[in-house]
A = this chain, B = another copy of it.
Amino acid sequence: MKNIKPKLIRLFKGGYCTPQIARIAKTINEPSATLHYNIKKLENEGAIKTYKAVFDYKKIDEGFCAYVLIAFSPAEYSTPERIARALSKHKEVESVDLITGDWELIIKVRTKDQDEYYNFLRNVISREHGLQKTKSMISLKQFKTEFISL
């Protein structure tokens, strides 16, 4: 057994998919060549970043999900970008946004379970310099993600 599943998940998470032109052609009743032209235009404009898969995360050992609010220490107010980009690099991190209000950053994190989430907080969040305070909001139930209803 070659255990190809984890490789597929890794690749599909960020790309390795492509439009189904023929199916779209039937759906909206337009010629394939016309759709091809319009899709390539969107890609060349950079409007489409990638084509990827959306998973039922419970079924791929990423059933635990949390939003983490982060506040910087005063010394780091000037370099939120550095921290945001550092956090973005981790595979567990689905999204990173700089926000208005009482907190500076909100990130969405997916792990296998609470134990792995604890490790993530300890090994990634805590070790990042310049963080003053964090607050976890743990997802009890996900109704929609990445525009896909569950």
Binding site for B on A (CB under 8 A): 2, 4-5, 7-9, 11-14, 16-20, 23-24, 27-28, 30, 34-35, 38-39, 42, 45-56, 59-60, 65, 67, 81, 84-85, 87-89, 93-101, 103, 106, 108, 135-150
Contact = CB atoms under 8 A, between A and B. Distances in A.
Q: Which 5 A-B pairs have the closest CB atoms?
A: A96-B143, A47-B59, A97-B139, A88-B144, A98-B141
B8 A39 contact: yes
A38 B5 contact: yes
Residue of A39, A106, A148 with most partner-chain B CB within 10 A:
A148
A26 B66 CA distance: 35
A61 to B, nearest CB: 10
Contacts of A98: 139-143
A76 B53 CA distance: 35
A68 to B, nearest CB: 11
